[in-house]
Amino acid sequence: MEITKKELEKSQIELTVELSLAEFKPFIEKGVKKVSEEIKIEGFRPGKVPFAVLKQKIGEMTILEEAAQIAVDKTLPKVLAENTDKQVIGQPRVDIIKLAPENPLVYKITLSALPEVKLSDYKNAKVKKTEKEVKEEEVKKILDNLTEMRAKEVMVDRPAKDGDKVIANIEMFLDNVPVDGGQSKGTAIILGKDYLIPGFDQKLAGIKKDEAREFDLPYPKNHYQANLAGKLVQFRVKVKEIFERQVPKLDDELAKAFGAKSVEDLEKNIRQNLEEERKREAEQDLEIKIIDKILEKTKFGEIPEILINHETEAMLDELEHTVTHQGGKFSDYLASLNKTRDQLTLDLLPNAIKRVKSALAIRQIAVEEKFEVSEKEIDEKIEELLKQYKGYEKVEERVKEPNYRLYLHNSLINNKVVEKLKEWNVEK
| Alpha carbons 255 and 140: distance in angstroms, whole number | 14
- Say which residue, 182 or 245, is predicted with more confidence: 245
Q: Among residues 152, 406, 323, which one has the least CA distance to residue 254?
A: 152
Between the two ends of the chain, the Cα-to-Cα distance in Å is 60
Neighbouring CB atoms inside 10 A of 75's CB total 18
> Residue 356: which H helix or E strand, with range?
helix 341-368
| SS3 state at 10 | coil
Residue ranges in 215-304 assigned as alpha helix (H): 252-257, 263-297
Q: What is the pLDDT of residue 110?
A: 93
pLDDT 10s digits, 354-410? 999 999 999 999 999 999 999 999 999 999 999 988 888 888 888 888 888 888 999
Question: Would the CA dihedral through 411, 412, 413, 415 be positive or negative?
Answer: positive
Q: What is the pLDDT of residue 47?
A: 66
SS3 labels along 304-351: CHHHHHHHHHHHHHHHHHHHHHCCCCHHHHHHHHCCCHHHHHHHHHHH
| Alpha carbons 131 and 277: distance in angstroms, whole number | 12
Cα-based angle 296, 358, 299 (whole degrees, multiple of 5)? 45
Q: How many CA atoms lie within 13 A of 220 on its CB side?
A: 8
pLDDT 10s digits, 66-93? 999 999 999 999 998 898 878 888 889 9
208: left (phi over 0), alpha (psi -120 to 50) or beta: beta
Nearby residues of 316 by Cβ (< 8 Å), 6 or more positions away: 341, 344, 345, 348
Q: Domain 2-113 is classified in which CATH homologous superfamily?
A: Trigger factor ribosome-binding domain (3.30.70.1050)
Domain edges within the chain: 2-113, 151-246, 282-425
Residue pair 15/3 in contact by the 8 Å Cβ criterion: yes
* Average pLDDT of the residues in 309-321: 92
pLDDT level of residue 324 (50, 70, 90 thresholds) = confident
Q: Among residues 116, 87, 85, 88, which one has the least CA distance to residue 361?
A: 116
Nearby residues of 266 by Cβ (< 8 Å), 6 or more positions away: 143, 146, 255, 258, 260
- For residue 121, the 8-state DSSP code is -
- Say which residue, 43 or 387, is predicted with more confidence: 387
Reported in sequence order, the residue ranges of 126-183 that DSSP labels E, i.e. its strands, are: 152-155, 165-174, 177-178
CATH class belonging to 282-425: mainly alpha
Q: What is the pLDDT of residue 365?
A: 97
Is it the case that residue 43 has pLDDT exceeding 70?
no
Neighbouring CB atoms inside 10 A of 163's CB total 14
Q: Among residues 343, 335, 344, 326, which one has the least CA distance to residue 183?
A: 335
* CATH topology (fold) of 151-246: Chitinase A; domain 3 (3.10.50)
pTM exceeding the 0.85 threshold for the entire prediction: no
> Residue 218: which H helix or E strand, with range?
strand 212-218
- Per-chain mean pLDDT for the chain: 91
| Alpha carbons 149 and 403: distance in angstroms, whole number | 43
pLDDT 10s digits, 144-195? 999 998 999 999 999 999 999 999 999 999 999 998 878 999 999 999 988 8
Is it the case that residue 95 has pLDDT exceeding 80?
yes
| Alpha carbons 55 and 95: distance in angstroms, whole number | 24
